[in-house]
Chains A and B, each alone.
Chain A
Amino acid sequence: MSSETSAMGGVGGLSSPPTSKSGGGFTPTPRYDSGSADWHADALDVDEMVLNMGPQHPSTHGVLRIELKTDGEVVKAARPHIGYLHRCFEKHAENVDYPGVIPYTDRMDYVASMGNSLGYALAVEKLLGIETSPYVQTIRVIFAELQRIASHCVAVGTYGMDIGAFTPFLHLLRDREKILDLFEWTCGARLLYNYNWVGGLSHDLPDGFVKACRQFLREYDAITVPELMDLLISNKIFIKRTAEVGVCPVDLAISYDLTGPNLRGSGLPRDLRKDHPYCGYERFAFDVPVGKGQYGPVGSCFDRNWVRAVEMAESSKIIHQALDALEKMEKADVHEKVPKRVKPAKGEVYGRSEAPRGQLGYYIVADGTAVNPYRVKVKSPCFTAMSIFHVLAKGMYIADIIALIGSLDVVLGEIDR
């Protein structure tokens, strides 16, 4: 295949739109907007070729399409195209009432739904001035951290699979399954929970939950965490594949608003749970792991994944303490503070929380007259992580692009919303 024809395929090729006989308001516009002219086939050098990756490529973790301008094996420029999974979250949110938004938030980051609904519930509570009871807060912490473990299991597991290690994925999914069982036991759902309500929770913990959770953590601490470190993180092939790839310096990470493990992988110890504690995180002792660059420069793909792996152990520490605290507490009504009708006064709030993939922000505007939000904007950590992609991808090998996408741990449901 000559470089020119495949480049045509990459840019789109279809220069004139299909004409339609039935008009009905259809105004023909160019089908593909190729943006800058230097991506057009005529502008490419003879050695250059535009390569389409996705939207069905298994390593893009969803439906992400990336155009790569390649010279042999080297990527000279990259252009991500998102929006394949756009489900109009923000438009929907304007047309349902405040509690009705929560099931939609679950569907954004479907690998970590608990964190999404928690962030939204906290933002609306801040708008209404509701303070939930310590009992509710402790349960929220337990579920947020269980969700973090489950989410990192998928993130690190699939990352290993992306770059050729299949077994750790199976081991991690085994543990994720146990966490999903705990969730299902509590609220009936395995993935999309609708659990964190405005002012409370949908269900109280079932009898015997603490014991079952402790049992899970015993196995998890004793087997999964050391296993993950031995099998994957300290694996020589894994280190070779990741330690000098996709290096993101800390100032670039801040400029492109990388948050969560991606930012901490670049060496900045910033965690919302420590800096601006919510849900009573200040009562629990835990460390914030930071990328150290053991095998290469700080901020590489290895560091981001090492941070995730260590965080999985730290989350377990938090859950242990929260379970202890819960046992000393009296049971409270988890619906106590749930308002019958949520209708905040005119105002606005920017609520943020530390979701497994980074800082999740909700900007909510209330007009004071309606029971539905005037505007909801979501700052998704995956969206901002994807926006740095074209900077990091420049000059990499195509094979390393796979390693880079996985290390940023993006979930396309949250990018596209």
Chain B
Amino acid sequence: MDAKGINDKLAARFGEKVTGAGLEAASPFAVVAAESLLEAAAFLKDDPELAFDNLMCLSAVDYPKETPPRFEVVYHLLSYKHGHTFAIKVHIPREEPRVASVEGLWGVANWHEREAFDMFGIAFVGNSDLRRILLPDDWAGHPLRKDWQDPDFYNGMHVKPTPQMAERAMGGEKIGVGPFDFTPPNAHMEP
């Protein structure tokens, strides 16, 4: 089934809960209201004509400049039975990021959701093991948010350049790598 057919089927079942679509995109998607995510995901998985039995990828994207500021959680789905792919997105408010977990439908979602929680701080309600996965357990903050600032200290250790080093770097000298490197300001988030 092509992307338009899948989107039509989804829209026919959920009506105005399907709030948008990008069928001309290189990887077509539909936007689903966050409160209907679980139903829509279950429908996509269980409907025999759609049969999305595989969750290829679950990712989160931060859009602080949109109105209202939001996170997007993107579910890339694949049907091994029919060979077609599709993506659904949910928009969740940036102030209170929470969305239902799809772990019950696709087992792999558990770790993907833990990663999104780790990097973006999105709470996946119903995830059985929502802990940090890649970063240390005592890490503070969520680094893939666009407004992330590198910390000055980590566990009491100074991890930013000293004023002397900063001065040399401002004079054009190349100072170190890693935490002592002056990374260019994030192009997407002007101060």
Cβ of A339 < 8 Å from any Cβ of B?
Answer: no
Given A20-B155, A361-B56, the answer on whether A33 and B131 have CB atoms closer than 8 Å is yes
Q: Which residue of B lies closest to A276 (CB)?
A: B83
Cβ of A90 < 8 Å from any Cβ of B?
Answer: yes
Residues in A neighbouring B107, C-beta threshold 8 A? 252, 255-256, 387-388, 391
Identify which of residues 143-162 in chain B touch chain A, using a CB-to-CB cut-off of 8 Å: 143-144, 151-156, 158
Cβ of A206 < 8 Å from any Cβ of B?
Answer: no
Query: A205 CB to closest chain B CB, in angstroms?
Result: 30
B54 lies within 8 A of A82 (CB): no
Cβ of A257 < 8 Å from any Cβ of B?
Answer: yes
Query: A63 CB to closest chain B CB, in angstroms?
Result: 13
- CA separation between A342 and B190, bound complex, in Å? 22
Given A35-B129, A91-B144, A377-B57, the answer on whether A256 and B108 have CB atoms closer than 8 Å is yes
Cβ of A101 < 8 Å from any Cβ of B?
Answer: no
Q: Which of A24-32, A174-182, A228-236, A292-300 contacts B (4 or more CB under 8 A)?
A: A24-32
Cβ of B14 < 8 Å from any Cβ of A?
Answer: no
Cβ of B25 < 8 Å from any Cβ of A?
Answer: yes
A350 lies within 8 A of B108 (CB): no
Query: B66 CB to closest chain A CB, in angstroms?
Result: 11
Identify which of residues 133-191 in chain B touch chain A, using a CB-to-CB cut-off of 8 Å: 133-138, 140, 143-144, 151-156, 158, 183-184, 186-188
Cβ of B7 < 8 Å from any Cβ of A?
Answer: no
Given A18-B155, A370-B187, A384-B111, the answer on whether A348 and B27 have CB atoms closer than 8 Å is yes
- CA separation between A26 and B106, bound complex, in Å? 37
Cβ of A338 < 8 Å from any Cβ of B?
Answer: no
A350 lies within 8 A of B76 (CB): yes
A254 lies within 8 A of B54 (CB): yes
Q: Which residue of A lies closest to B27 (CB)?
A: A350
Q: Is the interface of B mostly helix, strand, loop or mixed?
A: loop
Given A257-B56, A257-B108, the answer on whether A370 and B25 have CB atoms closer than 8 Å is no
Residues in B neighbouring A379, C-beta threshold 8 A? 56-57, 76
Query: B21 CB to closest chain A CB, in angstroms?
Result: 13
Residues in B neighbouring A372, C-beta threshold 8 A? 187
Query: B135 CB to closest chain A CB, in angstroms?
Result: 6
Cβ of B34 < 8 Å from any Cβ of A?
Answer: no
Query: A365 CB to closest chain B CB, in angstroms?
Result: 6
Residues in A neighbouring B111, C-beta threshold 8 A? 383-384, 386-387
Identify which of residues 102-148 in chain B touch chain A, using a CB-to-CB cut-off of 8 Å: 106-108, 110-111, 119, 129, 131-138, 140, 143-144
Query: B25 CB to closest chain A CB, in angstroms?
Result: 6
- CA separation between A365 and B74, bound complex, in Å? 11
Cβ of B40 < 8 Å from any Cβ of A?
Answer: no
Q: Which residue of B lies closest to A377 (CB)?
A: B59
- CA separation between A83 and B111, bound complex, in Å? 12
A22 lies within 8 A of B138 (CB): no
Please name the 3 residue pairs, one residue from A and one from B, whose CB atoms are nearest each other, closest first: A20-B156, A24-B153, A377-B59
- Name B residues whose Cβ lies closer than 8 Å to a Cβ of A: 25-27, 53-57, 59, 61-62, 74, 76, 80, 83, 85, 87, 106-108, 110-111, 119, 129, 131-138, 140, 143-144, 151-156, 158, 183-184, 186-188
